[in-house]
């Protein structure tokens, strides 16, 4: 059975069809509709396109920002027309087949664990450092999403108080409704927020990295970011204890991030205990759609 993976974003929908050997067969991109009925229609149309390529029904997986309310099956994603709508159930009804709908960080984690950088390891945690901070845990090729389906939402753990206090870091409201989440400091926007708090300047992540060799303030700022992120990795070690952590999202593209974070994690850890291997995601832009496709195939395959 061929598999369709959909990366559903706020502005575009990326659909990718994978052959039985999991090589990319075909891809298609369309704009994300602004209305819910149009969104459902667009997704159904993409499935029909994929069925035509496969000469029969494909399995369907969709990865998107946000999550599913386990009580009523409704989507929680403020940037989508599907917000507070039962999109998975509506697609199942329209298509007459199972549809796997999952968080985009979970999709990335599954892709990297099965096909990407985490492939040699049994237990893989994908830490996504981008506009926000998310994650997903895969063990033996299966997502570990937990009772409510929100396992891996590590961006909404509290920032470590000792580091916040030591460096006078801002404690701000998070989009999730809580206050002081680690996401507000180590995401792309969080790094810029820390830069303003520590230097009074408005700087982007690339500017901070470029200047850290010549500007002691930028060097300290980057060290603080690494310490905060290393503290989060240490929390993962003490709870899930993965073999490997795969970094995704825009900040993972920073050339020095893997080496610097590996060093910071080692400095923050218990003496005599090994830290997990930290790697950069290998799947590139196709990784999320491939993970969604694999999740859909797992459901269809039983």
CA 278 – CA 247 distance, rounded (Å): 7
Report the greatest alpha carbon distance in the chain: 61
- For residue 258, give the H/E element and its range: helix 257-268
CA 71 – CA 254 distance, rounded (Å): 39
Q: Is residue 291 part of a domain?
A: no
pLDDT score, position 57: 97
Residues 211, 260, single domain; the answer is yes
Residues 231, 171, single domain; the answer is yes
The torsion region of residue 66 among left (phi > 0), alpha (psi -120 to 50) and beta comes to: left
Q: Are 297 and 1 in contact (CB under 8 A)?
A: yes
Residues in the chain: 302
pLDDT tens for the chain, 302 residues long, are 899 999 999 999 999 999 999 999 999 999 999 999 999 999 999 999 999 999 999 999 999 988 888 889 999 988 899 999 999 999 999 999 999 999 999 999 999 999 999 999 999 999 999 989 999 999 999 999 998 888 999 999 999 999 999 999 999 999 888 999 999 999 999 999 999 999 999 998 889 988 988 999 999 999 999 999 999 999 999 999 999 999 999 999 988 999 999 999 999 887 778 899 999 999 877 789 999 999 999 998 77
Q: What angle do CA 295, 83, 108 make, to 5 degrees?
A: 30
Q: What is the CATH number of the domain that holds 244?
A: 3.30.420.40
Indicate the SS3 state at residue 29. strand
pLDDT score, position 71: 84
Last residue of a domain, one of 107, 139, 155: 107
Residues 161, 33, single domain; the answer is no
Residues 138, 95, single domain; the answer is no
Q: How many domains does the chain have?
A: 2
Q: Is residue 146 part of a domain?
A: yes
Residues 102, 39, single domain; the answer is yes
Q: Is residue 292 part of a domain?
A: no
Query: How far from each other are the two terminal CA atoms of the chain, in whole angstroms?
Result: 13
């Amino acid at each position: 059975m061929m598999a369709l993976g959909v990366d559903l974003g706020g502005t575009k929908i990326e659909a990718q069809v994978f052959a039985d050997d999991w090589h990319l067969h075909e891809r298609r991109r369309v704009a994300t509709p602004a209305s819910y009925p149009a969104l459902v229609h667009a997704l159904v149309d993409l499935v029909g396109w994929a069925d035509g390529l496969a000469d029969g029904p494909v399995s369907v997986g969709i990865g998107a920002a946000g999550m599913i309310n386990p009580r009523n099956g409704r989507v929680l994603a403020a940037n989508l027309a599907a917000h507070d709508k039962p999109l998975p159930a509506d697609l199942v009804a329209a298509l007459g087949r199972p549809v796997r709908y999952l968080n985009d960080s979970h999709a990335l984690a599954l892709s990297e664990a099965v096909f990407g950088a985490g492939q040699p390891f049994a237990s893989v945690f994908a830490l996504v450092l981008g506009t926000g901070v998310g994650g997903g845990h895969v063990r033996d090729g299966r997502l570990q999403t937990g009772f409510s389906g929100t396992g891996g939402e590590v961006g909404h753990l509290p920032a470590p108080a000792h580091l916040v206090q030591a460096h006078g870091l801002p404690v701000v409201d998070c989009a999730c409704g809580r206050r002081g989440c680690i996401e507000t400091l180590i995401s792309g926007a969080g790094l810029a927020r820390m830069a303003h708090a520590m230097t009074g300047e408005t700087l982007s992540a690339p500017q901070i990295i470029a200047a850290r060799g010549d500007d002691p303030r930028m060097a300290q700022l980057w060290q603080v970011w690494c310490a905060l992120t290393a503290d989060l990795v240490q929390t993962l070690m003490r709870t899930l204890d993965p073999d490997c952590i795969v970094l995704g999202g825009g900040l993972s593209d920073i050339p020095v991030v893997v080496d610097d974070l590996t060093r910071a994690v080692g400095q923050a850890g218990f003496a005599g205990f090994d830290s997990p291997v930290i790697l950069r995601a290998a799947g590139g832009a196709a990784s999320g759609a491939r993970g969604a496709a694999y999740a859909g195939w797992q459901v269809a395959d039983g």
